[in-house]
């Protein structure tokens, strides 16, 4: 099964951008990663089982490309997370605090949190995408939640 690249781009562009941004922490790099992912899909002549398989493949490629982007020489010359945070708008102050706390997590926890809560993947699906065991995904989710709880608890105690 192959779907037109334009159709997939329109459907998954924002999701892949969010995944890439979670890894890169940089808007420009995330945009580049998304473009590179769709270029790879277009030039890759693989047949997929179904649309879910395509979506999982796109996310896996996006994560790998974003990780590679973090290793490049030019990476250190990009906008910092703090600078990017100033350009974002949130509906509530709590949303902003949650975003900052999630972005401060180590990459392996940030990715599973994003896939689980924002992309609505199951633990089983995340395990397949990240090539991890289901128990490893559950452990990462648990640890990420604990880290977020601690971080947000500290922030709330400091506000009082």
pLDDT in tens, 105-144: 998 999 999 899 888 999 999 999 999 999 999 999 999 9
Nearest of 81, 70, 139 to residue 109 by alpha carbon: 139
Domains of the chain in start order, with CATH, are 1-88 (1.10.1740.10), 91-160 (1.10.10.10)
Summarize the confidence of residues 14-22 as an average pLDDT: 95
Whole-prediction pTM: 0.66
Contacts of 141 (CB under 8 A, 6+ apart): 112, 113, 116, 123
Summarize the confidence of residues 14-34 as an average pLDDT: 92
* pLDDT of residue 87 exceeding 90: no
Contact 160, 145 (CB under 8 A): no
* pLDDT of residue 78 exceeding 60: no
Instruction: Determine the pLDDT at residue 130.
Output: 93
**Separation between Cα atoms, residue 132 and residue 124, nearest integer Å:** 9
Instruction: Determine the pLDDT at residue 91.
Output: 79
* pLDDT of residue 54 exceeding 90: yes
Summarize the confidence of residues 82-91 as an average pLDDT: 68
Q: Which of 20-29, 68-77, 135-144 has the lowest mean pLDDT?
A: 68-77
Which position has the higher pLDDT, 157 or 134? 134
**Separation between Cα atoms, residue 50 and residue 25, nearest integer Å:** 31
Instruction: Determine the pLDDT at residue 160.
Output: 59
Mean pLDDT (the chain, rounded): 87
Tokens read off for 116 = 């689980």
Instruction: Determine the pLDDT at residue 94.
Output: 79
């Amino acid at each position: 099964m192959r779907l037109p690249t334009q159709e997939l781009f329109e459907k998954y562009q924002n999701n892949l951008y969010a995944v890439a941004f979670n890894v890169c922490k940089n808007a420009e790099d995330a945009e580049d990663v998304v473009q590179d992912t769709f270029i790879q899909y277009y030039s890759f002549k693989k047949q997929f089982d179904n649309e879910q398989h395509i979506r999982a493949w796109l996310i896996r490629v996006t994560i790998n490309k974003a990780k590679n982007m973090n290793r490049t020489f030019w990476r250190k010359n990009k906008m910092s997370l703090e600078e990017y945070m100033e350009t974002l708008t949130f509906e509530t102050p709590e949303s902003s605090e949650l975003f900052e706390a999630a972005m401060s997590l180590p990459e392996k926890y940030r990715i599973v949190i994003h896939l689980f809560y924002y992309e609505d993947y199951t633990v089983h699906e995340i395990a397949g995408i990240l090539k991890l065991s289901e128990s490893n995904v559950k452990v990462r989710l648990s640890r990420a939640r604990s880290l977020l709880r601690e971080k947000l608890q500290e922030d709330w105690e400091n506000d009082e």
